[in-house]
């Protein structure tokens, strides 16, 4: 009867005060809505059916910071925010809160919110809570609900690495980290990551917003797939536990605004070493083999034989085996009789090792009793280990909410790996699949059911690995990889889309998964090139996958093929030369990728971008296609279908585009057909861009670096410009100011002159006396050097090469 009464009479709220931040609305009995004005474009809503928070602290919110306290951040902590001026008023049964960019109206009857954004001098209504039962005030169960009205013209992007189309409309998704080996990139759900953030974009008005639900619980998003006649068109969020605690982020003019702000809100992306952008070899077969050390040595020999550039190798978990099973931090000395010699042999060739580590100890692990006796495992309510299925055995997870377990983990990372010269950690199989309600986490002294915050264990595991690396080598930037994770993982790790299945369909939809991650604040990502699970890719599919993968921040060929084959750069002699050339092209582009990651770290810019996000006013870019932007300057159009020798590419309107391979210029607003041989992936440069390159001749084991720039000046008056960060690529000296940059500008005027200015402020270890700048061959205007001297002018492959002598 009480439940029916509550449904009939929604809570009637009253404004406690017009002063203060948060603004508090209260209703009987003990119900409360708190609104925090955090920035002109960010307002947080906290709905408390019982007047008290039920969820744990937050490990997600770290505005502009490198991290949060180990034990989490208090939910009402306002540090890091600079609240703007705002007004609070009551009118017609509503409380209205207004900043310079956002206005929210809260109905006193029921608490439903309606949101407006100021754009082009007018207020636009962008979101309204559902008029019927928008929130759960204890009416149905203890779960958390948020129902929002849905417009038919809206797009939804984000939610991390979801399978399927980039636009999430009409679909439903579950956030429940799971080991989805061999997943379908088109249909499988759930997957590996827990990122409850998405951007709503309304093309008609060029307005939108981001919604972030700060929860650690398993949750579900329905983006209009569900239909109920009693409530109109809606979409909704449901979490199994905790509080309804969400952040509204305005995004007017570009959907990228919300992505940047969300990334800032959840912490600064890690600035990782430059070598992390090189090719990383990997396969499970090498370390699974009885003669693993020998097979690892043969990889180096084959790299030398085929001149495959390589900076790192991901050491799969076979190095830890006892029999057929894997035991974290155990070295199999039969497979690796000389650990130090093995590691050193790789380092001598410039190849660093990234070792696989897993957070679950099998019940017969050599250290199991020691760890269990010390209380370092997640335990059942009776004090026994909380048993879980892990690979082909039963085991128990370490409890990273226990500081003693963190200390044990860090000590093992340093002792078993880092002291041997292992450079990095590969945090794998860390989904923490705990389903029993009787499993209890330590909770930093406040125990709670472990299944309520599984992703927190994942986050704290990668943080412990990160801290171990920093403690072991405080002057070097940590490099880590993690398969699973949640909001805030970008502060520690590079990631990838997990154990994909080998198919052309996967190649197409992995592209969209990477864009989904980038639109969710996680830019440093990639995929298992060639596919991890299933059959070996054929020569054509393999070459096309490499040609796509070289443009991603993470580039690793990794496999565990069902037929026992191994994905290696030289697996098909008929395309080996093209693969070697593609990898060299990747190294040529590393200065641009490094700059993009710096912009991600320093300015929260997404590295990969959907076409519509970069060109929101071009209606044709709203189509869910197979192209992407790499930064704001490069359009990448991979071939994702078999038996193709050309690629049709739609060029966004309002700018010109130039083919990297031919230097040919095309007007935007049209579709062009370009040749697409294996060794020449289709990509174009945007007018007004200047892209840094490494044009030094490089060979395996002999790195070289010479900076050059490729530029597309404006056809009319205007300044094309680009930047390039420079440092030693690995140390923390940049924090002490030992970092410089190139600034290159090409200014055109109506007099038919192209004025080039090259600036090099800051640190330089080996300054170049000359720099080459490539402009399209059709560029015939007279050259004037603002600083330096034109020392050469010739053509190369459709480009005009200008050599500029720089002043000392």
Token code pair at residue 63: 């505005």
Q: Return mean pLDDT, the chain.
A: 96
Of residues 459, 270, 275, 460, the one with CA closest to residue 353: 275
Q: Is the per-residue pLDDT at 688 higher than 60? A: yes
**Where in 430-574 does DSSP place strands (E)?**
439-441, 448-449, 480-482, 485-486, 494-496, 525-526, 528-529, 556-557
What are the residues whose beta carbons fall under 8 Å from the beta carbon of 766, sequence distance 6 or more? none
Q: Specify the pLDDT at position 543.
A: 98
Q: Fill in the DSSP letter of residue 415.
A: I
Long-range contacts of 697-701, Cβ-Cβ distance < 8 Å, separation of 24 or more = 698/309, 698/584, 698/587, 699/307, 699/309, 700/303, 700/304, 700/307, 700/308, 700/309, 700/310, 700/349, 701/303, 701/304, 701/349, 701/350
Token code pair at residue 433: 């699949």
- Burial pattern 490-514, b for ≥16 Cβ within 10 A else e, equals bbbbbbbbbbbbbbbebbbbbbbbb
* Predicted confidence band of residue 8 (pLDDT cuts 50, 70, 90): low
Q: Is the per-residue pLDDT at 371 higher than 90? A: yes
Q: How far is CA 574 from CA 287, 299, 578, 581, 644, in A?
A: 27, 19, 8, 13, 17
Q: Specify the pLDDT at position 630.
A: 98
Of residues 482, 530, 523, 536, the one with CA closest to residue 506: 530
Per-residue three-class SS string for 652-718: CCCCEEEECCCCCEEECCEEEEEECCCCCCEEEEECCEEEEEECCCCECCECCCCEEEEECCCCCCE
* Predicted confidence band of residue 658 (pLDDT cuts 50, 70, 90): very high
**Orientation of helix 504-518 relative to helix 539-549, angle to 10°:** 10
Q: Cα angle at 508 between 506 and 511, to 5 degrees?
A: 100
44: three-class secondary structure by DSSP: strand
Q: Fill in the DSSP letter of residue 157.
A: E
Half-sphere CA count of 582, side-chain side, radius 13 A: 31
Is residue 286 within a helix (H) or strand (E), and if so which, with residue range?
A: helix 284-288
Half-sphere CA count of 2, side-chain side, radius 13 A: 5
The 10s digit of each residue's pLDDT in 429-461 is: 999 999 999 999 999 999 999 999 999 999 999
Long-range contacts of 5-13, Cβ-Cβ distance < 8 Å, separation of 24 or more = 6/137, 6/138, 6/139, 7/133, 7/139, 10/109, 10/110, 10/111, 10/133, 10/137, 11/110, 11/111, 11/137, 12/108, 12/109, 13/95, 13/106, 13/108, 13/109, 13/110, 13/111
Distance, in Å, from the CA atom of 113 to the CA atom of 136, rounded to the nearest integer, reads 14
Distance, in Å, from the CA atom of 755 to the CA atom of 785, rounded to the nearest integer, reads 6
Could you count the other beta carbons within 10 Å of the beta carbon of residue 1?
A: 5
The 10s digit of each residue's pLDDT in 716-763 is: 999 999 999 999 999 999 999 999 999 999 999 877 899 999 999 998
Q: Specify the pLDDT at position 765.
A: 76
Of residues 409, 390, 384, 414, the one with CA closest to residue 399: 409
The 10s digit of each residue's pLDDT in 406-419 is: 999 999 999 999 99
Average pLDDT over residues 784-804: 93
Q: Specify the pLDDT at position 84.
A: 97
CB 519 within 8 A of CB 158: yes
**Orientation of helix 292-306 relative to helix 339-348, angle to 10°:** 10
Token code pair at residue 170: 């009409």
Average pLDDT over residues 500-510: 98
- Cα dihedral sign for 396, 405, 60, 165? negative
Distance, in Å, from the CA atom of 219 to the CA atom of 605, rounded to the nearest integer, reads 27
Distance, in Å, from the CA atom of 377 to the CA atom of 390, rounded to the nearest integer, reads 14
Ramachandran class of 480: left when φ > 0, alpha when ψ lies in -120 to 50, beta otherwise: beta
CB 558 within 8 A of CB 531: no
Integer-rounded Cα radius of gyration of the chain: 27
What are the residues whose beta carbons fall under 8 Å from the beta carbon of 59, sequence distance 6 or more? 68, 72, 73, 216, 456, 459, 460, 488
551: three-class secondary structure by DSSP: coil
Average pLDDT over residues 522-541: 97
Could you count the other beta carbons within 10 Å of the beta carbon of residue 773?
A: 21
* Predicted confidence band of residue 392 (pLDDT cuts 50, 70, 90): confident
* Predicted confidence band of residue 138 (pLDDT cuts 50, 70, 90): confident
Across the strands, what pairs with 755?
A: 747, 784
Of residues 771, 302, 208, 249, the one with CA closest to residue 580: 302
Q: Give the strands of the sheet with 388-390, arranged side by side.
A: 360-362, 393-397, 388-390
* Predicted confidence band of residue 1 (pLDDT cuts 50, 70, 90): very low
Domain ranges of the chain: 274-359+401-603, 706-805
Long-range contacts of 589-593, Cβ-Cβ distance < 8 Å, separation of 24 or more = 589/550, 589/551, 589/691, 589/693, 589/694, 590/274, 590/277, 590/278, 590/694, 591/692, 591/693, 591/694, 591/707, 591/724, 592/630, 592/631, 592/634, 592/691, 592/692, 592/693, 592/724, 593/277, 593/553
CB 685 within 8 A of CB 657: yes
The 10s digit of each residue's pLDDT in 12-53 is: 999 987 788 999 999 999 999 999 999 999 999 999 999 999
Of residues 787, 777, 656, 786, the one with CA closest to residue 716: 656
Q: Specify the pLDDT at position 7.
A: 56
Q: Is the per-residue pLDDT at 119 higher than 70? A: yes
The 10s digit of each residue's pLDDT in 666-676 is: 999 999 999 99
563: three-class secondary structure by DSSP: coil
Average pLDDT over residues 775-800: 93
Distance, in Å, from the CA atom of 466 to the CA atom of 490, rounded to the nearest integer, reads 12
Q: Specify the pLDDT at position 466.
A: 98
Q: Cα angle at 681 between 704 and 305, to 5 degrees?
A: 45
Across the strands, what pairs with 494?
A: 481
Q: Specify the pLDDT at position 3.
A: 46
Q: Is the CATH number 3.20.20.80 carried by domain 274-359+401-603?
A: yes
Q: How far is CA 636 from CA 556, 597, 630, in A?
A: 19, 17, 7
58: three-class secondary structure by DSSP: strand
CB 136 within 8 A of CB 145: yes
Token code pair at residue 250: 């305005």
The 10s digit of each residue's pLDDT in 176-193 is: 999 999 999 999 999 999
Q: Fill in the DSSP letter of residue 518.
A: H
Q: Specify the pLDDT at position 6.
A: 54
Q: Is the per-residue pLDDT at 4 higher than 60? A: no
Distance, in Å, from the CA atom of 175 to the CA atom of 216, rounded to the nearest integer, reads 10
């Amino acid at each position: 009867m009480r439940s029916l009464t509550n449904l009939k009479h929604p809570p009637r709220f009253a404004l406690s005060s017009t002063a203060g931040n948060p603004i508090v609305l209260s209703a009987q009995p003990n119900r409360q809505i708190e609104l925090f004005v955090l920035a002109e474009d960010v307002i947080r809503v906290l709905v408390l059916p019982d007047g008290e928070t039920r969820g744990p602290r937050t490990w997600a919110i770290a505005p502009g910071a490198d991290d949060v306290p180990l034990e989490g951040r208090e939910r009402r902590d306002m540090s890091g925010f600079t609240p703007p001026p705002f007004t609070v008023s009551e009118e017609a049964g509503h409380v209205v809160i207004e900043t310079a960019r956002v206005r929210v109206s809260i109905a006193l009857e029921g608490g439903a919110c309606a949101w407006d954004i100021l754009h082009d001098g007018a207020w636009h209504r962008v979101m309204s809570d559902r008029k019927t039962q928008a929130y759960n005030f204890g009416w149905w169960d203890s779960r958390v609900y948020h129902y929002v009205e849905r417009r038919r013209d809206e797009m939804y992007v984000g939610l991390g690495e979801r399978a399927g189309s980039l636009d999430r409309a009409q679909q439903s998704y579950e956030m429940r980290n799971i080991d989805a080996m061999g997943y379908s990139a088109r249909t499988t759900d759930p997957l590996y990551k827990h990122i409850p953030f998405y951007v709503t974009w309304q093309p008609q008005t060029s307005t939108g917003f981001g919604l972030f639900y700060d929860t650690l619980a398993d949750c579900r998003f329905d983006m209009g797939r569900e239909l109920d006649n009693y409530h109109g068109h809606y979409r909704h969020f449901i979490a199994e536990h905790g509080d309804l605690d969400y952040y509204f982020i305005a995004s007017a003019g570009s959907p990228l605004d919300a992505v940047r702000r969300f990334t800032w809100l959840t912490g600064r992306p890690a600035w990782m070493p430059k070598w992390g952008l090189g090719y990383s070899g990997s396969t499970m077969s090498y370390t699974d083999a009885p003669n693993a050390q020998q097979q690892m040595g043969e990889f180096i020999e084959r790299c030398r034989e085929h001149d495959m550039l390589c900076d790192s190798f991901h050491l799969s978990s076979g190095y830890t085996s006892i029999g057929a099973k894997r035991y974290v931090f155990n070295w199999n000395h039969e497979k690796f009789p000389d650990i130090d010699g093995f590691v050193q042999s790789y380092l001598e060739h410039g190849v660093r090792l990234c070792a696989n580590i897993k957070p679950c100890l099998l019940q017969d692990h050599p250290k199991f009793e020691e760890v269990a006796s010390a209380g370092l495992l997640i335990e059942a309510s009776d004090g026994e280990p909380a048993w879980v299925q892990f690979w082909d055995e039963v085991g128990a997870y370490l409890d990273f909410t226990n500081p003693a377990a963190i200390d044990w983990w860090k000590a093992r990372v340093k002792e078993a790996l880092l002291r041997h010269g292992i450079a990095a950690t590969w945090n794998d199989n860390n989904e923490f699949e705990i389903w029993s309600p009787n499993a209890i986490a330590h909770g930093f002294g406040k125990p709670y059911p472990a299944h309520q915050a599984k992703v927190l264990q994942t986050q704290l595991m990668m943080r412990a690995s990160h801290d171990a690396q920093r403690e072991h080598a405080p002057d070097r930037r940590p490099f880590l990889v993690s398969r699973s994770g949640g909001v805030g993982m970008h502060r520690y790790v590079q990631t990838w889309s997990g154990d994909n299945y080998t198919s052309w369909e996967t190649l197409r939809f992995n592209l969209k998964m990477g864009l989904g991650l980038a639109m969710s604040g996680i830019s440093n990502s990639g995929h298992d090139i060639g596919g991890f699970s299933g059959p070996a890719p054929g020569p054509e599919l393999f070459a096309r996958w490499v040609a796509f993968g070289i443009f991603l921040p993470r580039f690793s060929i990794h496999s565990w093929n069902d037929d026992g084959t191994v994905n290696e750069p030289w697996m098909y002699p008929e395309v080996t030369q093209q693969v070697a050339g593609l990898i060299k092209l990747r190294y040529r582009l590393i200065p641009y990728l490094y700059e993009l990651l710096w912009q991600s770290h320093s300015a929260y810019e997404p590295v990969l971008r959907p076409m519509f996000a970069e060109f929101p006013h071009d209606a044709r870019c709203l189509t869910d296609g197979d192209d992407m932007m790499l930064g704001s300057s490069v359009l990448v159009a991979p071939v994702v279908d078999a038996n193709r020798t050309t690629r049709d590419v739609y060029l966004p309107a309002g700018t010109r585009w130039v083919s990297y391979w031919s230097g040919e210029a095309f007007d935007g607003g049209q579709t062009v057909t370009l040749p697409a041989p294996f060794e020449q992936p289709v990509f174009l440069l945007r007018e007004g861009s200047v892209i840094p390159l490494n044009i030094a001749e490089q060979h395996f084991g002999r790195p070289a670096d010479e900076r050059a720039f490729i530029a597309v000046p404006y056809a009319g008056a205007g300044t094309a410009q680009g930047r390039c960060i420079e440092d030693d690529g690995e140390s923390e000296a940049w924090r002490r100011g030992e970092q410089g940059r190139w600034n290159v500008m090409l200014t055109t005027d109506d007099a038919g002159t192209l004025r080039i200015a090259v600036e090099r402020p800051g640190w330089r270890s080996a300054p170049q006396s000359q720099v080459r700048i490539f402009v399209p061959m059709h560029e015939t205007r007279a050259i004037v050097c603002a600083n330096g001297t034109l020392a050469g002018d010739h053509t190369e492959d459709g480009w005009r090469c200008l050599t500029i002598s720089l002043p000392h």
